[in-house]
Amino acid sequence: MNRLPLGISRLDRMIGGGAPAGSVVLLAGEAGAGAREFAYTSAVLNGLAGAAPDEFDRYYGDLESGTEPPDAVHYISFTDERAAITDEMGLVMDGDLVDAGMDGVSVVELAESYFQLTPVPTDWYAERATDITDLGKRTDRSGVLEALGEYLTEHAAGNLVVVDSVTDLVATADDRLAWSDLTVLLKGLKRAAHRWGGVILLLVNAEALEPTELGRLKEATDGTLLFEWESGGSERARTLVVEQFRGVLSRLEDEDIIRFETAINDSGFDISNVRKIR
């Protein structure tokens, strides 16, 4: 099975080189526990592989056999501009690394589709026209899902796509955009992604969801990485739990590994220790 690197080298080596091609992976976590930092690191390091291969080798190391970097990296945001995203990345990771890696990342802003039909003033988000579609002609809230689907159809094949974030889509669910519309879209995405052969990362704040809602998102994806805060004595530590992952979890279970202690440093998200659960 061909794999694409997630960009976290220690984790990629433990799971056979990266995520199986065609995977849709949910990055679900508590606020500040590492899910967003994971997404940032994945985008920046995979962008670096295309924009500056020598720097990628320095930060990441050698790719495992059967693993190839994505053809391209796309970062989809519903609320933020590219500059705001890269500025926040620079607070998490080394700024030079972010600048070099983001040279290889295409950022698409779906703010016009997302904010239309809301009380948000148009000039707060529509400073320039989008090159995807004439979103101003949308007449209902489902336009944001349509815009997302159109972009993925055109750009997801063979690529890494980070969707930031499903939490924003959940916030729009009302009588005009039903929760079922979102889950059905994700189930269709899971089907299409297997043909496209890339990897799609869906970022979501688990604290914003009811347990049944989170469960439906898990059912609609191939894998779930759960990011948690764990208290021990006077300190809190970030942990990563691999709850489900097609083509990955069985490998970890063979080694009795399921929970990882994590850290965030200048190179981004990293695995700092491995828990073996027997």
- Together in a domain, 124 and 87: no
pLDDT at residue 254 is higher than 90: no
In a domain, residue 274? The reply is no
- Does residue 103 sit in the same domain as residue 119? no
Mean pLDDT on 132-144: 52
Q: Residue 152 domain-assigned?
A: yes
| 12 lies in some domain | yes
Give the pairing type, strands 19-20 and 268-276.
unpaired
Q: Which domain holds residue 50?
A: 1-73+80-107
| Nearest CA-CA partner of 169 in 108, 110, 119, 221 | 110
**What DSSP assignment string belongs to 215-263?**
HHHHHTSSEEEEEEEEEETTEEEEEEEEEEETTTHHHHHHTTEEEEEEE
Q: What pLDDT sits at residue 113?
A: 85
Q: Write the CA distances from 278 to 179, 256, 259, integer angstroms.
A: 38, 6, 11
Report the distance separating Cα 183 and Cα 114, nearest Å. 17
The answer on 93 and 128 residing in a single domain is: no
pLDDT at 233: 58
Q: How far apart are CA 114 and CA 142, in angstroms?
A: 9
pLDDT band for 59, please (50, 70, 90 cuts): very high
Whether residues 98 and 1 fall in one domain: yes
What pLDDT is recorded for position 149?
A: 94
Question: Do 145 and 68 fall within a single domain?
Answer: no
Local confidence band at 170 (pLDDT 50, 70, 90 cut-offs) = confident
pLDDT digits (tens, 9 = 90+) for 9-22: 999 998 899 999 99
Confidence at residue 129, expressed as pLDDT on a 0 to 100 scale: 47
Residue at 97 is within a domain: yes
Q: Are residues 64 and 31 in the same domain?
A: yes
pLDDT at 130 over 70: no
Residue 266 lies in a domain: no
pLDDT tens for each residue of 70-126: 999 999 999 999 999 999 999 999 999 999 999 999 999 999 888 876 778 888 887
Q: Is the pTM of this model over 0.85?
A: yes
Same domain for 94 and 135, yes or no, is: no
The predicted model gives 241-256 an average pLDDT of 78
Are residues 96 and 136 located together in one domain of the fold?
no
- pLDDT tens digits, one per residue of 205-236: 999 888 999 999 999 999 999 999 987 655 78
- What integer best gives the mean pLDDT of the chain? 87
| 251 occurs within a structural domain | no
Tokens of 4: 């694409």
Q: Is residue 252 part of a domain?
A: no
The beta strands (E) that lie in the chain are given as 3-4, 19-20, 23-29, 73-77, 105-109, 160-164, 199-205, 223-232, 235-245, 257-265, 268-276
Domain identity same for 91 and 134 = no
Indicate the burial class of 241 (C-beta count within 10 angstroms; 0-12, 13-18, 19 or more): middle
**pLDDT of 177 strictly over 70:** no
Mean pLDDT of 174-186: 78
Domain count for the chain = 2
> What is the DSSP-derived secondary structure letter of residue 67?
B
In a shared domain, residues 146 and 121: yes
